[in-house]
Structure 1
Amino acid sequence: ELAAEFCCTTKCIRDTIHQYRQTGSNKSRPRSGRPPVLSRYKKRKLFRVTRKIPKIKY
């Protein structure tokens, strides 16, 4: 039921609930590798602009 409501697989729902029960949080653990190019703030700003002006060119 939840999987259909959130348009994802039952495994995704099960894993998310399991992670929350294990850690008490729904955040992903930090991973090694290259740091993100855009900060969370800049990503949100980019999404806002593209929603406002969908045909904007990059």
Structure 2
Amino acid sequence: MNTDQIKGAAKEVAGKVQQKTGEVFNSPEQQVKGVAKQVEGGAQKSYGNAKEDIKDATK
């Protein structure tokens, strides 16, 4: 695992928490921010996965 995979996964979890908090407190703004953070985290995690795949392929 590399740092992009770890940071991406952490952002996804934080985004889910933020989205659910927005739902509980009826805050559409927080829900949208949470979803955006999840998307950002997913992209970063995918980038980390690609880096790892390239590293493994060059061994």
Q: Which structure ranks higher in relative contact order (CA pairs < 8 Å, sequence separation ≥ 6)?
A: 2
TM over 0.5: no
